[in-house]
Chains A and B, each alone.
Chain A
């Protein structure tokens, strides 16, 4: 069975600072990995996805993530955050054979002006 761990429930950074949100997954096969963002009272929107190939994937709004197989990690990064990046971020893993998609508990990001 697959699972996702996001160890940081809340992260607070100042505007313009760099950001890393941590994600570790557990899955025995080749994973499909995702980061989603949720703004208040909205559904989830895809930020980026890893399917195969280059382990560093680029997403929307300057976000990127790196797949590190040896560490079972898929951390999200941004070089310089903006106040509008304040939201809840979810990491997810999809099974390549069952299509089951499992999410982590989310990280609430607060960007201080």
Chain B
């Protein structure tokens, strides 16, 4: 099964500070995704990537940047964290070949901005 590892698992940040959430996958998937999960909103797509060097805006990209320096790693960056970004963040990876169309999720990062 695909392995997606997120770090840190929990983070408390101060308003205005910079936060970097990291994600690593070991299955050579081309596509990687960052979502946030909030009650009443389900999972909302922030950024995604087709491969190393590429990033694409999802449905709620404002206030977030993404970086895909390699096939394995995909980071989500909050340059100026705000309390409204308090949430649980999930990274996922997936492939586009043949019938392997699903995405695999990490365990999530709980971010609190105070």
Q: List the interface of chain A (C-beta within 8 A of B).
A: 6, 9, 32, 34, 36, 41-46, 49, 51, 90, 94, 98-106
Residue numbers of B with Cβ under 8 A of A are: 4, 30-31, 33, 35, 40-45, 48, 50, 56, 58-59, 90, 92, 94, 96, 99, 101-108
A46, B102: Cβ atoms closer than 8 Å: yes
B48, chain A: closest CB distance, angstroms: 6
Report Cα–Cα, A34/B103, bound state, in Å. Answer: 10
Interface SS of B by simple majority: strand
Q: Once the chains bind, are A90 and B58 in contact (CB under 8 Å)?
A: no
> A43 contacts which of B30, B44, B50, B108 (Cβ < 8 Å)?
B108
B45 touches A102 (CB 8 A): yes
Docked-complex contact A103 and B99, CB < 8 angstroms: no
CA distance A90 to B103 in the complex (A): 13
A43 touches B103 (CB 8 A): no
Residues of B within 8 A of A106 (CB): 42-43
B42 contacts which chain A residues (CB < 8 A)?
Answer: 6, 90, 103-106
* B96 nearest in chain A by CB position: A99
Alpha-carbon gap, A46 to B105, bound state (A):
9
Q: Which residue of B lies closest to A96 (CB)?
A: B101
**B40 touching A105 by the CB < 8 A rule?**
yes
Closest B residue, CB atoms, query A94: B101
Which chain A residues border B58 with CB–CB below 8 Å?
Answer: 100
The answer to whether B107 and A34 touch across the interface, beta carbons within 8 angstroms, is: no
B96 touches A101 (CB 8 A): no
Residue among A90, A98, A103 with the most chain B CB within 10 A? A103
How far is it, in angstroms, between the C-alpha of A44 and the C-alpha of B96 when the chains are bound? Answer: 19
Given contacts A34-B102, A42-B107, A51-B101, whether A101 and B33 have CB atoms under 8 Å apart is: yes
- Is the Cβ of A32 less than 8 Å from the Cβ of B43? no
In the complex, 25 of the A-B residue pairs with CB atoms within 8 angstroms, ordered by the A residue number, are A6-B42, A9-B40, A34-B102, A36-B105, A41-B108, A42-B107, A43-B4, A43-B90, A43-B108, A45-B105, A46-B102, A49-B102, A51-B101, A99-B30, A99-B31, A99-B94, A99-B96, A101-B45, A101-B48, A101-B103, A102-B59, A103-B42, A103-B44, A105-B42, A106-B42
